[in-house]
Structure 1
Amino acid sequence: MAERTEERTREADAEAEGDFGVDVGTTESLGGGATDADPERSSESTRSYFSLRALLYAFGAVGGGMVLGGLIPLLPFTEMLGIALGAFVYGLVASQRRYLELAVAGGVSGGLTAVFSLLPQLAAGLNGTRLFAIAGAVGLVLSVVGHYFGRDLRDGLTKDL
């Protein structure tokens, strides 16, 4: 009975991740369940903490959110709220946690946006390094919080009742 429950759990997890039970490189013997490679163990050992592809997607999501936030007229710093929006959508869509990539994308995007939007004041003597650091820290926090809430909503939508 416990074996059947475990099998259902693995099938539900595989469907939730977009994998419909087809594992390339693993074969089951007729004896019942012995595989050439354990997919759970192999995915943990090959999982990296940083992905360049995920970083590029994070920059795209954060940049798209910043563009949408910048379309709101007469309100200052709506691009920063766009960072949180882009990270939220990325967390809602992505199947894995990518906090590091979104932290980098949010921090760099927030810092560069603040510096470029206040470029004339920088020429007049405003400290650009301090401005970049403050805006980068705000962008970093907003992107991580947005990604967290997106992941939380995704988890709530995909959980069985």
Structure 2
Amino acid sequence: MAERTEERTRDADTQSDGDLGVDVGTTESVESDVAVGESHDVGSSAAEASTTESGSYFSLRALLFAFGAVGGGMVLGGLIPLVPFTELVGILLGGFVYGLLASERRYVELGLAGGVSGGATAVLSLLPQLAAGLNGTRLFAIAGGVGLVLALVGHHFGRDLRSGLTKDL
């Protein structure tokens, strides 16, 4: 708290001296670049900063966390005895928790994790029937599609709740 008060007094002192509150170090570097004759394109530096800050559309680290969230939800859903398809509800729960905790939108990673986890679980749980003649490719596609949709819906509602909780009133 004392640091915050100290910052306010410093800011008030600098503004009372005729300063407009602009960071002096930033303006001096721009002025020195122009004075030397170098062109300084402010738009390109802002674009470079935005691409480095926002990251890319796909992140391997986020994919691993998405697999962890979806897998954890499936384990929790599988703990409910005698109720079928609770692993699918676990995919929805994992996507919801991931959307609630993640600071960025990661629909691609979560959709991939939900689809692969849902398809693999369906195929592995019905492995004896696959040997008897059940079509495994079709089963993987259907269960993967359901897992993908559930993960994306869960992520959307988790992000929606997060934005509602962090929004100023």
Bin the TM-score by the shorter chain.
Answer: 0.7 to 0.9
- TM-score, with length taken from structure 1: 0.76
What is the rounded CA distance, in whole Å, between the counterparts of 1:154 and 1:61 in structure 2? 16
Q: Is residue 116 from structure 1 mapped to residue 150 from structure 2 by the alignment?
A: no
Residues 119 and 156 of structure 1, relative CA distance in 2, 3 Å threshold: same
What is the rounded CA distance, in whole Å, between the counterparts of 2:109 and 2:61 in structure 1? 9
Structure 1 residue identity aligned to 2:163: D
Structure 2 residue identity aligned to 1:30: V
Aligned residue pairs total 134
Residues 137 and 35 of structure 1, relative CA distance in 2, 3 Å threshold: farther
Instruction: Classify the secondary structure of the residue corresponding to 1:137.
Output: helix
Q: Mark the runs of 5 or more structure 2 residues left unpaired by the alignment.
A: 1-21, 31-41
Residues 34 and 50 of structure 1, relative CA distance in 2, 3 Å threshold: farther
What is the rounded CA distance, in whole Å, between the counterparts of 1:144 and 1:55 in structure 2? 13
Alignment equivalent of 1:75, drawn from 83, 99, 124: 83
**Higher helix proportion (structure 1 or 2):** 2
Structure 1 equivalent of residue 24 of structure 2: 30
Q: Mark the runs of 5 or more structure 1 residues left unpaired by the alignment.
A: 1-27
Q: Which one has the largest radius of gyration?
A: 2
Structure 1 runs (4+) greater than 2 angstroms displaced: 31-44
Residues 119 and 35 of structure 1, relative CA distance in 2, 3 Å threshold: farther
Matches within 5 A, 1:150-161: 150-161=158-169
Structure 2 equivalent of residue 45 of structure 1: 51
Shift, 1:45, TM fit: 1.7
Instruction: Classify the secondary structure of the residue corresponding to 2:24.
Output: coil
What is the rounded CA distance, in whole Å, between the counterparts of 2:100 and 2:61 in structure 1? 17
- TM-score, with length taken from structure 2: 0.73
Alignment equivalent of 1:65, drawn from 49, 62, 73: 73
Q: Is residue 142 from structure 1 mapped to residue 150 from structure 2 by the alignment?
A: yes
What is the rounded CA distance, in whole Å, between the counterparts of 2:140 and 2:75 in structure 1? 19
Residues 115 and 44 of structure 1, relative CA distance in 2, 3 Å threshold: same
Shift, 1:41, TM fit: 3.9
Please list the CA deviations of residues 77-109 of structure 1 after superposition, one character each: whole Å capped at 9, or x if unmatched.
100110010010000000000000000000000
What is the rounded CA distance, in whole Å, between the counterparts of 1:85 and 1:99 in structure 2? 15
Shift, 1:71, TM fit: 0.4
Shift, 1:131, TM fit: 0.1
Structure 2 residue identity aligned to 1:127: N
CA RMSD of the aligned region, Å? 2.3
Instruction: Classify the secondary structure of the residue corresponding to 1:49.
Output: coil
Identity among equivalent pairs (%): 73
